[in-house]
Structure 1
Amino acid sequence: MTTFDGIIPALVTPLDQDGELLEDGLRQVLDFTIDRGVHGVFILGSSGEIYGLDAAQKRRVVEIAVEHVAGRVPVLAGAGEISTRECVRTARMVEEVGGVAGLSVLTPYFMTPTQSELREHFRAIAGSTDLPVLLYDNPPRTHVQLELTTVLELAAVPGIVGLKDSSGDLERVRTLLAERPEGFSVLMGRDTLILPALEAGADGAIATTANVAPRVVAGIYDAFRAGDLATAARLQEELAQLRDLVPRATFPLVLKEGLRILGVDAGHGVAPAREIDPALREELARVVTALDAL
């Protein structure tokens, strides 16, 4: 069974003010994070504003990522559409492009499916592709939760190989880690809980803040694996100041602005996401510059 581990940034998608893809900007983001030690990259997630990209843009993001990463780290792609049909369409497109290690599938949002409907949703997507599938549970944003029994039932489905958990419920994660089948990856999706999740037995994290502070976030994992818990704890504490800034503007503007401050052309957000308060930008500049120097 395919397993995923380490720190995998959920990358932003650089766009111009009209929402067109900035191809060189995407290459810059890929190099910025990989050169600073991340263990994989994740494209077409919510940080990548998949909801604002058309089909041709999604395909081009996958093509550029696979070509430019060139095997340096695994590339994961997201299928974050609302309907089963659209997720299947994205899965087949990603598989057709080739070179992607796995597919992360978010629970539907706006609608509120039952657990039975969610099981059928994920079974259908996993059955439509040979790509390994990661379940993605983010109830604070989607208002839909994969119950623990649902996750464990889906873990037995061929092709479903893990879970990104952004619930923020560490006790739930601990229970899952105790009951998961062998080879089923559990990745933390809440950046403030990376170290506690690793200590509980998680395999890594898919982290939005690793766009801007990849060296720090990867350092948490690397220090933990090396047995240097003091360094891991210090880096986790340092990361909190960046994470606290992320919700202070429309997501993911803080991530894109942070990258711009560090010299990476991350472009603009999907309209209507546009505004960052000048005072927030000044605070962000201090934080990201300090973190990049760690």
Structure 2
Amino acid sequence: MFSGAFTVPVTPFRNGGVDVEAIEGMVEFQLQNGIHGLVPCGTTGETPALSESEDRLVIETVVRMADGRVPVIAGSGSNSTDMAIKYTKMAEEAGADGSLQVAPYYNKPTQEGLYRHFAAIAENTDLPLILYNIPGRTAVTISAETIARLAEIPNIVGVKESTLSMNMVSDIKRLCGEEFAILSGDDPMTLPLIALGGHGVLSVASNVAPAAVSDMVNALLAGDFERGRELHYELLPLFRVLFIETNPIPVKSAASILGLCSDEMRLPMIPLGGENLDHLRRVMEETNHLLPTPEEV
């Protein structure tokens, strides 16, 4: 159902509030540069710092600007099952085409608890759901076996894989079959994941390099691994510098450098500075051919 290069956009702020005008410009920038879908209110969008009304505003703005041109998969998960259901219903009302559901963080449920959590959400929405497996942030891994159980539920259609394990990707593919979408949650892992039968990426780097990331994924999905590898290695310095500090700090600074939005963040996140900002600027200069600006659209 979902394949290609999906951008997980930053949430722009101005003077403490959500900058709707910047969101509108960013969505158009993404679409004009060939991105295949948008995932508002993910980790990159600072969703832990957004209120429920702000979540709705961001999702509704992205849906309105996308206007059916690409699917919008809203981040609406929580470590509370009741809250995840509430936010997912809100995303459905806001017009989202799907929902990204992170594994419950901090409370570290068992595999059976994970299964019941996601199954309960699925029962309460008609949206297709993508599981989000990111133990580095949640302190819990959804096992391949649990993902396979969940894949039997009709509206659980895929997984965003951020375990950094190709063994995990292989097991999910083996257990869940061809139709279940496996999407990379880490830009540098997109190439090997697609080589194992994956379907694309939910990307951070495409906030600033949407055309290059979508071109790479298009090539890989078409079986042109020579071109896909070429773009992978061209993008690799950018992939790496965008995680020089905790995401989304570097990518929001990069978006600010391109003029897409301000670098304003909400505590506990703070803008990039010092040597790391200098390093980001150097890498962006070296990869300038991969970074379109809004004026070029």
Q: Normalised by the shorter chain, which TM-score bucket?
A: over 0.9
| 1:7-53 deviation digits (Å, cap 9, x = unpaired) | 001111111252x1000111122122222111101111111111100
What's the offset of the Cα at 1:170? 0.9
Sequence identity of aligned pairs in percent? 33
Which residue is equivalent to 1:86? Answer: 83
Shift of 1:283: 2.4
Deviation per residue, 1:160-181 (Å, 9 max, x gap) = 1111111000121012112213
Q: Contact (CA 8 Å) 2:80, 2:104: kept in 1 or not?
A: yes
The separation in 2 between residues aligned to 1:137 and 1:17, in whole angstroms, is: 34
Alignment-derived partner of residue 172 in structure 2: 176
Matched, 1:117 2:132: no
Q: Which runs of 5+ in 1 are unaligned?
A: none
Aligned counterpart, 1:73: 70
Aligned ranges for residues 25-64 of structure 1 at < 5 Å? 25-64=22-61
Secondary structure at the aligned position of 1:282 is classed as: helix
TM (norm. structure 2) is 0.93
Pairing 1:5–2:11 present: no
Residue 171 of structure 2 aligns with an amino acid whose one-letter code is T
Q: For residues 178 and 254 of structure 2, what CA distance do their matches in structure 1 show?
A: 38
1:216-251 CA-partner distances (Å, limit 9, x unpaired): 211211122344322211211122212222332342
In 2, Cα distance between equivalents of 1:193 and 1:139? 16
Structure 1 range deviating more: 41-50 or 222-231: 222-231
Among candidates 126, 132, 136, match of residue 122 of structure 2: 126
Query: Deviation string for 1:51-81 (max 9, x for gaps)?
Result: 1000110111111111111112111101132
**Consecutive unaligned residues in structure 2, runs of 5 or more:** 291-297
2:240 matched to which residue of 1? 244
Q: How many correspondences in the alignment?
A: 290
| SS of equivalent residue, structure 1 residue 163 | strand
- Residues of 2 paired with 1:147 and 1:164: CA distance? 13
Q: 2:134: which partner in 1?
A: 138
State yes or no: 1:24 paired with 2:50: no
Offset at residue 125 of structure 1 (A): 0.5
Q: SS of the residue aligned with 1:120? A: helix
Matched-pair contact (CA < 8 Å) for 1:14–1:268: yes
* Cα-Cα RMSD: 1.5
**CA displacement 1:184-207 (0-9 Å, x = unmatched):** 111111211101111111011111
Runs of 4+ aligned structure 1 residues displaced above 6 Å come to: none
